[in-house]
């Protein structure tokens, strides 16, 4: 369970997040949406422990995350960044094994058990043809699959996704959605930041609408045209209607 209490975060004088209060129960599937610059990614980074100079308190399983080591956090939370940046050649096998890093220590390298989990995941995700390849030679969808697998290997209960659908073709989007549903059924807590609400509304439990660092709505109301309009300043019909052309021209 994640509990966020009175969370605020400023960069210099710019307010990025203002007074956020939120409770995320185990097994919840949250969609966070809102215009660019609303503070969505910042919120994820705070949960992950990348940003620490915030005001307020965050508890994961009733323990303040500031009192956790980074490895302890990584045993509970994993994060899939929007862009995977690999400027150096890097073997897929080593990316996958990194998922077991939280379970190692300075004098304890990856164990036999870690390699068993690694092998099982490679089977499960059907990654045999990729394991010895440089990640940079993989397609966007394949790369996403590898990153998902590395999270899976990490064996966390909470997974944060930042815009997971960007740059994916329809088939890869379908596969990812299928995978998310599977994770949901396995009882994982999922928090997804995405603009692709039409894909996600049917599968999530709860939504958090953010605008300029403030919560517009949080709860289980799921789709609501007013919330949408308030958050994005756009009528939802305008985006999905069959007569979109006419609506646009009318304005």
Q: What is the contact surface with other proteins in residues (CB under 8 A)?
A: 45, 48-50, 69-75, 77-81, 84-91, 93-95, 97-99, 101-102, 104, 106-107, 109-110, 132, 134, 137, 150-151, 154
Residue 26 or 109 with smaller CB distance to other proteins: 109
Minimum Å distance from CB 31 to other proteins? 20
Minimum Å distance from CB 103 to other proteins? 9
As a three-state string, the secondary structure of the chain is CEEEEEEEEEECCEEEEEEEEEEECCCCEEEEECCCCCCHHHHHHHHHCCCCCCEEEEEECCEEHHHCCHHHHHCCEEEECCCCCCCCCCEHHHHHHHHHHHHCECCECCCHHHHHHHHHHHHHCCCCCCCCCEHHHCCHHHHHHHHHHHHHHHCCCEEEEECCCCCCCHHHHHHHHHHHHHHHHCCCEEEEECCCHHHHCCCCCEEEEEECCEEEEEECCCCCHHHHHHHHCCCHHHHHCCCHHHHHHHC
Residue 133 or 214 with smaller CB distance to other proteins: 133
Minimum Å distance from CB 216 to other proteins? 26
Residue 117 or 197 with smaller CB distance to other proteins: 117
- Tokens (6 digits) for 163: 């815009």
Minimum Å distance from CB 98 to other proteins? 5
Residue 76 or 211 with smaller CB distance to other proteins: 76
Residue 27 or 81 with smaller CB distance to other proteins: 81
- Tokens (6 digits) for 87: 């400027």
Minimum Å distance from CB 85 to other proteins? 5
Residue 90 or 203 with smaller CB distance to other proteins: 90
- Measure the N-to-C terminal CA separation of the chain; round to a whole number of Å: 45
Minimum Å distance from CB 48 to other proteins? 5
């Amino acid at each position: 369970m994640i509990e966020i209490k009175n969370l605020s975060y400023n960069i210099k004088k710019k307010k990025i997040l203002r007074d956020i209060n939120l409770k995320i129960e185990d097994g919840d599937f949250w969609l966070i949406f809102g215009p660019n610059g609303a503070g969505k990614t910042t919120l994820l980074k705070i949960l992950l422990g990348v940003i620490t100079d915030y005001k307020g308190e965050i508890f994961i399983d009733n323990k303040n995350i500031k009192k956790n080591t980074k490895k302890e956090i990584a045993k509970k939370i994993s994060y899939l960044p929007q862009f995977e940046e690999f400027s150096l050649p890097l073997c897929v096998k080593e990316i996958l094994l990194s998922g077991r890093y939280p379970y190692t220590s300075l004098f304890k390298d990856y164990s036999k058990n870690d390699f068993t989990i690694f092998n099982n995941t490679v089977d499960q995700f059907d990654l045999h043809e990729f394991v010895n390849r440089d990640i940079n030679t993989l397609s966007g969808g394949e790369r996403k699959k590898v990153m998902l697998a590395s999270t899976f290997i990490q064996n966390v209960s909470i997974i944060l996704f930042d815009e997971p659908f960007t740059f994916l073709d329809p088939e890869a989007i379908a596969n990812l959605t299928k995978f998310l549903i599977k994770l949901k059924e396995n009882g994982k807590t999922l928090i997804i930041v995405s603009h692709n609400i039409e894909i996600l509304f049917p599968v999530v439990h709860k939504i958090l609408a953010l605008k300029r660092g403030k919560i517009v709505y949080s709860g289980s109301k799921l789709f609501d045209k007013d919330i949408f309009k308030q958050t994005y300043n756009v009528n939802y019909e305008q985006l999905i209607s069959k007569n979109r052309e006419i609506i646009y021209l009318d304005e």
